Amino acid sequence: MTVLLNDTLTWQDVARVSNGDGLALSEAAWHRIDNAHRIVESIVERGIRAYGINTGVGALSDTVVDRGAQSKLSRSIILSHACGVGPLVPRREVRAIMASQIANFAHGYSGVRRQIVAHLATFLERDCVPDVPARGSAGYLTHNAHTALVLIGEGSAHIGGRAFGGRDALAEIGLEPLVLGAKEGLSLVNGTACATGLSSVALDRAARLLDWADAIAALTLEAAGCQMPAYSEPVLSLRVSDGIAAVGAALRARLEGSSLIEAAQGRRTQDALSLRSIPHAHGAARDLFDNCAAVVDRELASVTDNPAVAGTPEEPLVWSEAHAVAPALAQAADALAIAITQITAMSERRIDRLVNPLVSGLPPFLASDPGSHSGFMIAQYTAAALANENRRLAAPASTDGGLTSGLQEDFLAHPTAAANKLLALLDNAEYILAIEWLAATQAHDFVETQARRAAGTDVLYRHLRAEVSHYSDDRPIAADMEKVRLLLSQSAPPRCSDRG
């Protein structure tokens, strides 16, 4: 499959490309790219003073670079900015960054040649993934620079799992190294493509996670014998929220026809908050998700290069601005991270209610032979540790400080750091929900003789049991957790109607 870029991309488009789809540009997009490049050529020809075209960058913006050295300037920007450290960014995220960068160039305000964009599109088509160190970026520069290294035959990349030097990687996919022209080095490291691509991947994962959170919570509610009136439409409609309404409807659909729920009616006056407020926490996350998605889509629809070129080759315009700064993107990623953290904290509390003999009404720690078996006792420890790590990761990046480039860049929004924290937090969230799914399924092994499950929860129970058998302290439970985490990270939860 191939995504077509005409006017702009959406976060869903970027997510598709990150997962392996190609990216093609319409004739209108190529025309915008070509026109912007002609404007840059005119600026160079006329000697119009323009940041990053014929001046240095950052604190060197007042240093004029003569025409003969402008190509050297572009190359040196790439080499000097490629200073990331640490483990490599995963393939999926690098593909998302490249797709977002192509979208930025296609707006027609950057001025790079079409060969630059064509090379990046070929990288996506042939799955040539530049090696991009994950750490060391205060904004976007280092990640983008390591991608650009391969364009000029430097750096390194992976193709089909095989490692190549930059020049050899280009040869492997039938390309030659590029000699950069005026402004191209700056445009290749500039803009918010890095944070936007990472945020698009995070949204794709978060959307799936939110569906799983609702589904797994329903399985727990049934095992715990929840009091269903708290999740009814009239009750939930008292609090105005599209997210609460959606979660309430999802829970009711999963639990419809449950004899276990019917048998538990009136057992308690009300459930604990980790059960009763599922629609509120999950619903708040859904409302924030919609806001974050809108912010990322606006980012993709925006020009985030600096400077921006406009006008015509006959009457060129060049504008120095701050569109590469993305406070809204950082704030959105931070907010979604906080919402996901609340969901994982609540999930961990539900796990405890399933394993804790003081409140569960089930065998202690869901052990098949309490005493000689520990069951899910330490799995709950793992969930607690991950939930606590998420609380630390939820501290906002958008309020961080930092002064760079000799006081020229004296405000940093940190959208890349915010997106990276969100991705790390989602890793933990998937494990926590996997543990809850395992624990809730184990709990159902003990209650299924009492009454019948709902069709919507039975499909979840059977889906997991097709992969993992009842746990009897007969194997390392970590392997089960890894298998189930992979299952929920790669697919949507089975629908209520999927029961076989």
Q: Which residues are tagged catalytic? A: 51
Q: Give dist(CA 34, CA 54) in Å, integer.
A: 20
Q: What is the DSSP string of 120-175?
A: HHHHHHHTEEE--EEE--SSSHHHHHHHHHHHTT-SEEEETTEEEEHHHHHHHTT-
* Amino acid letter, residue 420: N
Query: Kind of pairing, strands 2-5 and 22-25?
Result: parallel
Please classify residue 160 by burial: count the beta carbons closer than 10 Å to its beta carbon, then call 0-12 exposed, 13-18 middle and 19+ buried: exposed
Q: Is the peptide bond before 90 cis (omega within 30 degrees of 0)?
A: no
Tokens found for residue 453: 């499950």
Residue 158 pairs in a beta bridge with: 129, 163
Per-residue b/e over 74-87, b at no fewer than 16 CB within 10 Å?
bbebbeebbebeee
Length reported for the chain:
500
Q: What type of residue sits at position 7?
A: D
Residue type, 224: A
Report d(CA 87, CA 99) in Å as an integer: 21
Q: Say what the alpha-carbon torsion angle 54, 60, 64, 65 is, to the nearest 10 degrees.
A: -60
Tokens encoding 350: 């539900």
Residue position matching structure tokens 């950052």: 58
Nearest 5°: CA angle at 203, between 347 and 126?
130
